[in-house]
Chain A
Amino acid sequence: MTALATQSHAIPHAVMAPELAWVGMAMLLPLLSSVVCALCGALRVKSKLPAIVTAISLASSFAIILRAYSAYTGPVDVPIFEWMSFEWGRGGSFHSFTANCALYIDALTLYWMLFVTGLGTLITIYASEYMEGDRGAGYCRFFFAISIFLFAMSALVLGDNLAMLYLGWEGVGLASYLLIGYNYDRPSAVAAAKKAFIMNRIGDLGLALGIFMLWANYGTIQYSELFVAMSSGGQTAVDWHVSAIPFLLMLGAFGKSAQIPLFTWLPDAMEGPTPVSALIHAATMVTAGVYLIARLYPFFELHPQALATVAWIGGGTALVAATIGMAQYDIKRVFAYSTISQLGYMFLGLGVGTTFGACYHTLTHAFFKALLFLAAGAIMHGFAGQLDLRKLSGLRHIPGWRIVSWTMFVGCLWLAAFPFTAAFFSKDAILLQALSSDRADFRALGWLGLLTAALTAYYTFRVWFRVCAGPVHFEAGTEAPHDHGAHHDADHARQKGHDRHSAAVHAAFHPHAPRWAINGVLIVLAIGSLVVGVPAYKAVFLHEDNWAQQMIAHSSAVQGAMLSNDHAHSEGHAPTMLGMDVHTGLTVVGSSAAIGGILVAWFFHLHSRRRADQVRGELLRRWWLGWIPTAMEHKWYVDEVYHVTFRSTMWIGAQILNFADRHFLDAFVVDGVAKIPLALGRVFRPLYSGALQGYAVTMAGGVALVLAWASWVWLRGAQ
């Protein structure tokens, strides 16, 4: 009876359905499978067992989440066990800190978990074929890290407090580090792993400080209590330590989601195996920043400029990353920059006040970007690591590559936000909110977003027209040291017994077409990309409620967004754009941007590739224009700037400290202490000559001294 009472106390909003009690298993199963994979590694299992165990556990997680979704009625706390609970002080200075291992299940959580576990399952199946060449220790290690990732991601999303979110946040960072550095014998992979980890630390500092500040100001870090405290405490904050909260939290989000100051780690993270790029660095982990802001959305109203900052950073990142993506030749890098760019859109959506748009774009992006990465991975797998889009052409005419080509075509259409694709609607939701805002700078960001959309369509189809269309022509990948992304897959192909292929790489290379696991997953993802558009189609054509919008509307993410919406429409007149209603105008301009970009890509990269080279040459010859493509190819020299400003200054600081340590601390303090016994030894050492008479003289001298002293005392006493 008492147990029942405490349980009902812990559930603030609704009675817990029995289905929800199982949700904890969705988090536990990946942990179990990670243990099994580690055991497989210890027992030197050479079979596909780790992949099978991981796939089954993730599929079960997905089923559990689906079941919970079907039984979902309202936000629920599911307690699992007491984790941390401290109380100190009394009276006025009473403090308490509670962070239980408990799950907070609301629509946002379920929404996120559905695509995280679903895509996790699919990508594990894909990886079971992709990683075949590493069967043995590497295979176990890979699936161990994947399981750990899913466990941490589940903790991040499901946790009912910020301590669990932080645990998951660091856990996904660890998994990301382990998987980027999967090929630990390749220096570039190790460097990329360290870069990702260290840049995330910068963001995590902000997140940790934000959590401390939340606790210091509201006395709790549990979501349900935080929202109550927030709504009762009012939304206007004057103290700096309250208004700093959103900025600290957004720093964490920018680090994890690769936004402007901290985005350079994500392209380098492509050193990891491609399934990892698809799962962690495109579909799920990098969206954790979006989740964080959506989850704590009310707190981003604590400072009037907080959301505007998010919007500006997001819009700016979208544009910058798109311009860099236009000039890259490595397919995976193009997609990496497109990921950063699309994440920028999500942040723009959050910033201008449409959490629905941001979350819906997260969902559509998760599908089509996983699809694109997996297609790129299939190409890399089959062509011995070749990823240079100048060295691959006409893939769709090669037997065995049709599925890859056409599923990739679907992914490209979606990424380009071609009219009436899912991504078109999700991007539309974001840009619509930006363009109908009453703030001029948000409207400007909306136009920037449209420009970015055109660039996106161009660089996406530049890849597809180059690689999949045109005359058949390809060069296999080599192990040339400049071609970083390629090595391990080249090794990989060789280990698989394709020695004849790699031996004859330059003579007659036969691409190794993907088999059922890769093709099957690509088809499922292409269908999934179509399916995630269904809610939008229903909303547009049948005027039903958008499923995603409903999901987001039933979570904490909507509070602020509703406010902004009301604000935008309370102006009295409908916002206009180019003399049209914003909605129509956006559809027209957005569609033409996408189609225009695709046409330009078609002209330069399929119709007349020679012309593209001519135009490029012309541009490079003009001094006032030539620097633009060069700078874009060099990623606007951001890495170099960071190198000069941060790494060099830190290097100089380290040298100064090293000098001080060696020449001051070591020289005077440490060595000084050691010199005292040495000096004492020097004084007494002559007494120990080893000569027998020497000792005798010392002894006689000592006795003489004692005698002299005794007689001196005696004589003085006698006087």
Chain B
Amino acid sequence: MSESLSSALTAIAPAQISIALAISALLFGLGLIGFLCRRNMIIMFLCTELMFQGAALAMIAFARLRMDVSGQVFVIFILTVAAAEAALALGLVVLLYRRKETLNSEVWSELGES
């Protein structure tokens, strides 16, 4: 990493980091709760995206704290992968919908014992 780039970044205070981390935890928690509570597969997928963004935000915050851009680079990668994966996941959802004519995830419970 070049000297000029690192000087352009200014370190932030641990208190500000806490705010960023709290928002990140909030996003992740909302996503998790949404994933667990909702049965609509598209909503569930959106919730997973929400959890993704929570994790990404935490990474950016830590990158700023440690003055290390590799965390931010990671987030760029995560976003691209998430975009590709969204295409795939939505395709899967469409296929599943075609099978059972519903988006309710409860109809897909064939792995269970009983």
Q: Residues of A with Cβ closer than 8 Å to B?
A: 685, 688-693, 696-697, 700
Contacts and interface: CB of A to CB of B under 8 A. Distances in A.
B112 A693 contact: no
B32 A688 contact: no
A689 B111 CA distance: 7
Interface stretch (B9-17, B59-67, B74-82, B101-109): B101-109
10 contacts: A689-B113, A690-B109, A690-B113, A692-B108, A693-B35, A693-B37, A693-B39, A696-B35, A696-B36, A700-B36
B112 A691 contact: yes
Contacts of B37: 693
State which size class the interface on B falls in. 10 to 19
Contacts of B105: 692-693
B109 A691 contact: yes
Nearest to B47: A696
B110 interface: yes
Interface in B21-75: 32, 35-37, 39, 44
Among A685, A691, A692, residue most surrounded by chain B Cβ atoms (within 10 Å): A692
Contacts of B39: 693
B35 A691 contact: no
Contacts of A691: 106, 109, 112
A697 B32 CA distance: 9
A689 B108 contact: no
A685 B108 CA distance: 18
A685 B114 CA distance: 9
A688 B109 CA distance: 10
A690 B109 CA distance: 4
Contacts of A689: 109, 112-113
Interface in B90-104: none
A690 B112 contact: yes
A65 B34 CA distance: 103
Contact of B111 (A690, A696, A700): A690
Contact of A693 (B36, B110, B111): B36
B36 A690 contact: no
Contacts of A688: 111-113
A696 B39 CA distance: 12
B111 to A, nearest CB: 4
A688 B36 CA distance: 16
Interface of B: 32, 35-37, 39, 44, 105-106, 108-113
Contacts of B106: 691-692
Q: Which 4 A-B pairs have the closest CB atoms?
A: A690-B112, A690-B109, A690-B111, A692-B105
A690 B35 contact: no
A685 B109 contact: no
Contacts of A700: 32, 36
Nearest to A685: B113
A570 B14 CA distance: 131
A685 B39 CA distance: 23
Contacts of A693: 35-37, 39, 105
Nearest to A703: B32
A688 B114 CA distance: 9
A678 to B, nearest CB: 13
Contacts of B110: 690
A692 B43 CA distance: 14
Nearest to B44: A692
B105 to A, nearest CB: 5
Contacts of B108: 692
Nearest to A700: B32
Given A689-B109, A697-B36, 18 more contacts: A685-B113, A688-B112, A689-B112, A689-B113, A690-B109, A690-B110, A690-B111, A690-B112, A691-B106, A691-B109, A691-B112, A692-B105, A692-B106, A692-B108, A692-B109, A693-B105, A696-B35, A700-B32
A153 to B, nearest CB: 68
Contacts of B32: 700
Contacts of B36: 693, 696-697, 700
A697 B37 CA distance: 10
A690 B37 CA distance: 16
Contacts of B44: 692
Contacts of A685: 113
A17 B80 CA distance: 105
B106 to A, nearest CB: 6
Nearest to B32: A700
A700 B44 CA distance: 15
Nearest to B33: A700
Contacts of B113: 685, 688-690
Nearest to A695: B111
Contacts of B109: 689-692
B74 to A, nearest CB: 20
A693 B39 CA distance: 8
A567 B45 CA distance: 114
Contacts of B111: 688, 690
A692 to B, nearest CB: 5
Nearest to A686: B113
A685 to B, nearest CB: 5
A685 B109 CA distance: 14
A292 B79 CA distance: 99
Among A691, A697, A700, residue most surrounded by chain B Cβ atoms (within 10 Å): A691
A347 to B, nearest CB: 74
